[in-house]
Amino acid sequence: MPTRILRFVRRSAALVSTAALLTSLSACGTDATEQRTQVLRDKIAQKIMLDLRYFCPDQQRNEENRGRCGEPVTELPETLGQMISDTGIGGIILFADNLESTEQIIALNSDLQSAAAGSHHGSPLLIGIDQEGGRVHRLPRAEATAFAGNMAIGATYPLHGDRFAGETAAAMAEQLRVLGFNVNFAPTLDVNSNPENPVINVRSYSENPEVVAELGVAAIRAFQEKQVAATVKHFPGHGDTSVDSHTGLPRVDRSIEQARAMDLLPFTRAFEQAQPALTMTAHIQYPALDDTTLPAQDGEEIVVPATLSRRILTDLLRGEMGYEGVIVTDSLGMAGISDYFSVEDAVVKTFAAGADIALMPLKIRFPGDIAQLDEIIDRAVQAVQHGELSEAEIDASIARIDALKQRYIDTSWIAASAAEKLEAAAAVLAEPKHAQLAEELASAAVSAIYPPADGVLPVLDADAKRIQVIAPSPAVGEAFRLALAGVTGATVEVLETHTALDKLQEATGDVLIVASIVPGESAVELGGMEDLGRLRRPPLPLDELYGVYERSLAVARERGQKTVFVSMRSPYEAAQFQRLADLHLASFDYKAYIGGDDVFEGPIYRALALALVSEMVPAGSLPVTVQPAEGTAVIEATSEG
């Protein structure tokens, strides 16, 4: 085994043992005060996990670029490699922008570990990723099979139990492991009890906490049996919110009894039955769990966010619930924290609350930004020296992080040659059973939101000669066209939302399909906070978009066309169109692989196409309640398959 790898095994305990490291440094003649400061810096650095999403090595932050850098880090710049070696930070999280191909991902992760091995303590990195499935998928879709997400899995639960939760997690873990990842920030255990939730939504398994718990436990076990550390999130529960914590600070107003019965239940079961390696905090206010206030940076007194709450992270999570794993914050760059606290204060406050790892406390986009990392570390060191942070608690935290690394970092992967890594990855990523599993999940997940109108099935019968599809984007439209071409010989015309009504008036068809992706993608689904510019500029305002849908469906029905409304993201919106469509379908997914000028329909499009030619109601069952349109009788929202 290479010397650098052995250094981790032999010396990582030194981060916990101050005396051992002091002795080592004393042998070099280092001043005792400097020795102690260096020990504390090493400990704090291990508790920081950064993203390296973009970096502009030849620029500086200024008015001209407004602090924006758009150069994805796909190869490790020397400057960032030196930063990792010099500071000895504990982890890195990568995003889709960092990940282009198998060979490139392996090279990047190998270089990251090499840089970490160059630090004076030589501890390897935790390398994490948000690979939830569905909307939150970071690996290149051209090379790694993508699976529908949690709510799609929830729709399969009545017929398939926890099968898809466990099998998709195992497949994702196999993919991640051979590429050099050791931490996955999944699964989401939030119970989506609020239909207006903009950020959790279909990332949740269900509105039923018992279902969320069972499926979450299956996923955790599968990830960790395949030696990838699972992360349950977002503690204590982000499901009953109507604000995205990327853009604001949500508040949950449940009673303590409701909290235990709903939001906390899946976490309790997960801790008891699956021992997840990490738990991620939520940037939410939850007064029933902690109603204390603290001053924000503008002087306003606010209810403490869970990420900064000692009552929630230490007293509840560690004390009452007995959690012994690593607590990691959600990104500290999200508005739920960054709008209220400085970077340095947020890091100190979350460590004081009981968090082990501060995730993404700052953006390093230019060489000059690196100095702020030193400032964050120095501020936390001073907090220990002044009694604001307990060094004993820091040591306990480092012990947990070290245990996590010992269990999940694959030193044999780090030591392997590039050729060995590529060979192993090629075998896993080309595994046919992964693609088959994705097809089976998509087919099992498609659900009828309301019972279909009499005589509408199959939608695409021998009389269907012309199909019109109103699609929210060209890629979605092309994916529909390709999938429909596989099941029918009818002509398929894709209509853009801006011109759909004009096109419908020019030419009629036999079937109109309206595909909707509402609400729009949240920041985490787009990739991160830096994508919010795209998030805030939708093609059409929602009221205009829905107006197009309503008028188009009404025109088609007046002409005698069959009408289908497909909720490809959130099924709740279907109530607005209940009277206008003969069939309402929920797919919980809309992702299609897009490569250059090519578009390949994903499994969900093939599953939808098959549902449209079937005489049977789709097998999926809605895992959330969709209310009927106003003025109509209450309709059972789930089918029994």
CATH number at 464 reads: 3.40.50.1700
Residue 19 in this model has a pLDDT that exceeds 70 = no
Contact 229, 184 (CB under 8 A): yes
pLDDT at position 197, please? 84
- Tell me whether residue 87 is in a domain: no
Statement to judge: residues 418 and 460 lie in one domain: no
3-state secondary structure of 6: helix
- Tell me whether residue 597 is in a domain: yes
Q: Where are the beta strands (DSSP E) in 376-476?
A: 447-448, 466-471
Per residue in 283-309, pLDDT (tens digit) is 999 999 999 999 999 999 999 999 999
Q: What is the DSSP string of 485-500?
A: HTT--SEEEEEETTTH
Residue range 499-507: average pLDDT? 86
Instruction: Say how far apart CA 302 and CA 323 lie, in whole Å.
Output: 27
Per residue in 170-202, pLDDT (tens digit) is 999 999 999 999 999 999 999 999 988 888 899
Q: Using 50, 70 and 90 to split pLDDT, how confident is the model at 9?
A: very low
pLDDT at position 523, please? 59
Statement to judge: residues 272 and 350 lie in one domain: yes
Per residue in 505-537, pLDDT (tens digit) is 887 899 999 999 987 665 555 554 454 444 444
Instruction: Look up residue 515 and give its two tokens.
Output: 């595909």
CATH number at 140 reads: 3.20.20.300
Residue 453 in this model has a pLDDT that exceeds 60 = yes
Residue range 226-238: average pLDDT? 97
- H or E element at residue 91: strand 91-94
Q: Please state the φ and ψ torsions of residue 425, each to the nearest 5 degrees.
A: -65, -40
pLDDT at position 18, please? 46
Statement to judge: residues 368 and 478 lie in one domain: no
pLDDT at position 568, please? 95
Q: Helices (H), strands (E): how many in the chain?
A: 24, 18
Question: What's the mean per-residue pLDDT of the chain?
Answer: 90
Torsional sign, CA 302, 307, 309, 311? positive
Statement to judge: residues 474 and 587 lie in one domain: yes
- Tell me whether residue 230 is in a domain: yes
Instruction: Identify the DSSP state of 285.
Output: B
Statement to judge: residues 520 and 495 lie in one domain: yes
Residue 21 in this model has a pLDDT that exceeds 70 = no
Residue 46 in this model has a pLDDT that exceeds 50 = yes
pLDDT at position 421, please? 98
> How many distinct structural domains can be found in the chain?
2
Residue 637 in this model has a pLDDT that exceeds 90 = no
Nearest to 487 by CA among 454, 450, 449, 459: 459
**Which range of residues forms the domain containing residue 539?**
446-612
Statement to judge: residues 502 and 385 lie in one domain: no
The length of the chain is 641
Q: Please state the φ and ψ torsions of residue 493, each to the nearest 5 degrees.
A: -115, 120
- Measured at the CA of 561, the angle between CA 557 and CA 565, to 5 degrees, comes to 75
Residue 565 in this model has a pLDDT that exceeds 50 = yes
Residue 4 in this model has a pLDDT that exceeds 90 = no
Statement to judge: residues 494 and 379 lie in one domain: no
Residue range 253-278: average pLDDT? 97
Statement to judge: residues 410 and 456 lie in one domain: no
Per residue in 92-128, pLDDT (tens digit) is 999 999 999 999 999 999 999 999 999 989 999 999 9
pLDDT at position 86, please? 97
Per residue in 354-407, pLDDT (tens digit) is 999 999 999 999 999 999 999 999 999 999 999 999 999 999 999 999 999 999
Residue 28 in this model has a pLDDT that exceeds 80 = no
Residue 40 in this model has a pLDDT that exceeds 60 = yes
- Tell me whether residue 435 is in a domain: no
Statement to judge: residues 452 and 421 lie in one domain: no
* Encoded amino acid at 377, one letter: I
Residue range 422-445: average pLDDT? 97
- Tell me whether residue 346 is in a domain: yes
pLDDT at position 163, please? 98
Statement to judge: residues 420 and 467 lie in one domain: no
Contact 306, 312 (CB under 8 A): yes
- Tell me whether residue 60 is in a domain: no
pLDDT at position 377, please? 98
- Measured at the CA of 563, the angle between CA 562 and CA 564, to 5 degrees, comes to 130
Instruction: Identify the DSSP state of 128.
Output: E
Residue 15 in this model has a pLDDT that exceeds 60 = no
Residue 90 in this model has a pLDDT that exceeds 80 = yes
Q: Kindly name the residue from 51, 290, 330, 356 that is annotated as catalytic.
A: 330
pLDDT at position 246, please? 77
- Tell me whether residue 519 is in a domain: yes
pLDDT at position 294, please? 95
pLDDT at position 633, please? 41
pLDDT at position 522, please? 59
Statement to judge: residues 506 and 393 lie in one domain: no
- Tell me whether residue 55 is in a domain: no
Statement to judge: residues 417 and 511 lie in one domain: no
pLDDT at position 241, please? 85
Is 330 an annotated catalytic residue?
A: yes
Alpha helices in 416-558 (DSSP H): 418-429, 432-445, 474-485, 500-506, 523-526, 532-535, 542-558
pLDDT at position 598, please? 63
